[in-house]
């Protein structure tokens, strides 16, 4: 037994269960990350395949400048209370810069009557006086211009790259333009001339399915009419609210230019207002012949012939 004292006992422990042991769940997280990355890759490849160049440009512009409408301006940029204005010598110009007073007489289609011409000239002066009350140091020739046309007074309110008129893709007005339209409504309510409102967009397609620039321009024109009405213009003074989409760009060579986004107000003379009313009047009022009524005897004869042509009913006994 003496030899047993120098022996070493070795105990080998064998773990039961799975032979590969337990390695934790970190591999599951890695697999999930890989699957998500592959899904994102396939989604990007699919979008590149199904979108055209204009849609890609819209997506790119959105991600390059998502916060373009976060700029905050004055909550009340229009001075409606007679406070001293900052802009002392404001002059409006037409699209081609004709005239310092912002007016332009063009064409010889149907010149307004003497009284109407004086009324429009007085209206221009009143509008310029109101616009000179803008408190912010803004160049109004980049926002508003007026011109006297044979049809009446045309007043164009332009979008601006730095101060947008509407939020992107919507009809929600920004504070500056909302106050501007309210102030315009206070002046336009003093005239009884009919007003036509039209909305215009640029050629950038909308990002909403089945919602085109026709819808967008129409909603923006309606919003402008609503704010003018809030400013004092009565409902019966509006003769038309129109949507023109991107079909009448201000800059035809660049349909994507921001200044193509605008709202136009046309204060019509009596001649043009009557022409528009006749255009949408019932046909009887436009001198077209009415349909002659069908004689009673012919109606009875047609009814009898229709009755005779019917298949006779067959009686089947039960």
Structural domain contains residue 207? yes
The tally of domains found in the chain comes to: 1
Sign of CA dihedral 252, 253, 255, 258: negative
46 within a domain of the structure (yes/no): no
pTM score: 0.55
Per-residue pLDDT of the chain (318 residues; tens, 9 = 90+): 555 556 676 766 655 555 555 556 788 888 999 999 999 999 889 888 888 877 777 777 666 655 543 444 444 444 444 433 333 333 334 444 444 344 444 444 454 555 565 677 788 888 887 777 664 545 666 778 888 888 888 999 988 777 788 888 888 888 888 888 998 998 898 888 999 999 998 888 888 878 888 999 899 999 999 999 999 999 999 999 999 988 988 888 888 888 888 999 999 988 899 998 888 877 666 555 556 667 777 777 877 777 777 665 555 455
- Judge contact between 87 and 132, C-beta under 8 A: yes
Burial category of 101 from C-beta neighbours within 10 Å (exposed 0-12, middle 13-18, buried 19 and up)? middle
Question: What domain range includes position 204?
Answer: 114-279
CATH number, position 214: 3.30.1330.60
What's the count of helices (H) and strands (E) in the chain, helices before strands? 7, 5
In a domain, 201, yes or no: yes
For residues 130 and 123, the answer to whether their CB atoms sit within 8 Å is no
- Residue 35 confidence (pLDDT): 92
Whole-number pLDDT of residue 82: 43
Q: Which residues pair with 267 in a beta bridge?
A: 153, 195
How many angstroms separate the CA atoms of 155 and 267, rounded? 8
φ, ψ of residue 134 in degrees (nearest 5): -70, 125
pLDDT for res 196: 94
Residue 196 lies in a domain: yes
Q: What is the C-alpha end-to-end distance of the chain, expressed in Å?
A: 120
Q: Is residue 254 assigned to a domain?
A: yes
Show the 3-state SS of 35-86.
HHHHHHHHHHHHHHHHCCHHHHHHHHHHHHCCCCCCCCCCCCCECCCCCCCC
Q: How far apart are the C-alpha atoms of 36 and 32, rounded to whole Å?
A: 6
Sequence-distant (6+) residues with CB within 8 A of 144 are: 92, 131, 155, 156, 157, 158, 180
Specify if 239 maps to a domain.
yes
Q: How far is it, in rounded angstroms, from Cα 307 to Cα 301?
A: 10
* 288 domain-assigned: no
Give residue 179's Cα distance to chain centre.
18
Please tell me the predicted confidence (pLDDT) of residue 5. 58
Residue 204 lies in a domain: yes
Instruction: Return the number of other C-beta atoms located less than 10 Å from residue 179's C-beta.
Output: 22
């Amino acid at each position: 037994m003496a030899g047993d004292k120098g022996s070493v006992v070795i105990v080998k422990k064998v773990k039961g269960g799975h032979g590969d042991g337990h390695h934790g769940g970190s591999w599951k997280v890695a697999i999930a990350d890989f699957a998500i990355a592959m899904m994102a890759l396939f989604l990007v490849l699919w979008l590149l395949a199904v979108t055209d160049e204009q849609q890609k440009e819209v997506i790119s512009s959105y991600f390059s400048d998502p916060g373009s409408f976060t700029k905050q301006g004055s909550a009340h940029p229009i001075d409606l209370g007679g406070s001293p204005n900052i802009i002392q010598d404001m002059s409006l110009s037409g699209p081609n810069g004709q005239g310092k007073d912002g007016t332009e007489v063009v064409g010889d289609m149907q010149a307004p009557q003497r009284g109407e011409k004086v009324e429009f000239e007085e209206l221009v002066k009143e509008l310029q006086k109101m616009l000179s009350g803008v408190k912010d140091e803004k160049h109004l020739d980049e926002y508003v211009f007026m011109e006297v046309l044979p049809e009446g007074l045309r007043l164009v309110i332009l979008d601006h790259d730095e101060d947008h008129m509407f939020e992107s893709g919507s009809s929600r007005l920004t504070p500056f333009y909302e106050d501007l339209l309210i102030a315009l409504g206070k002046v336009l309510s003093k005239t009884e001339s009919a007003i036509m409102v039209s909305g215009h967009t640029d050629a950038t397609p909308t990002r909403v399915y089945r919602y085109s620039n026709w819808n967008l321009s129409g909603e923006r024109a309606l919003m402008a009419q609503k704010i003018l009405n809030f400013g004092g213009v009565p409902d019966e003074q509006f003769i038309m609210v129109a949507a023109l989409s991107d079909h009448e760009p201000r800059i035809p060579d660049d349909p994507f230019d921001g200044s193509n986004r605008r709202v136009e107000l046309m204060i019509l003379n009596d001649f043009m207002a009557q022409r528009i009313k006749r255009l949408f009047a019932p046909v009887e009022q436009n001198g077209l012949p009415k349909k002659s009524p069908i004689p009673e005897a012919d109606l009875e004869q047609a009814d009898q012939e229709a009755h005779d042509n019917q298949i006779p009913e067959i009686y089947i006994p039960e």
